Structure 1
Amino acid sequence: MNYLLPGFESTKRLTLILSLTRISSPDIISALTLHYTTSLPAERAAARHQIELSNLVRNQKKLEKVAATIESIKSIDWEKHQAKLTAAEARVTELEALIERASNYLNAIGMNEELEAELFSAINK
Structure 2
Amino acid sequence: MKMLLRGAESPERIKLMLKMTGIRSPEIIAAIYEHLQFGMREKHAAIKHGVEQQNLNRALNNLNEFAKDYEELKALD
| Larger RCO (CA under 8 A, 6+ residues apart) | 2
RMSD: 0.6
Unpaired segments ≥5 residues, structure 1? 78-125
Unpaired segments ≥5 residues, structure 2? none
Q: For residue 121 of structure 1, what is the aligned residue in structure 2?
A: none
Listed as ranges, the matches of 1:20-99 within 5 Å are: 20-77=20-77
Cα deviations by residue, 1:32-91 (Å, 9 ceiling, x for unpaired): 0110001100000000001010100011111111111110111112xxxxxxxxxxxxxx
Instruction: Give the TM-score normalised by the residue count of structure 1.
Output: 0.60
Sequence identity (%): 38
Larger gyration radius, structure 1 or structure 2: 1
3-state SS, counterpart of residue 24 of structure 2? coil
Query: Which structure has the highest helix share of the two?
Result: 1
Amino acid at match of 1:10: S
Instruction: Give the TM-score normalised by the residue count of structure 2.
Output: 0.97
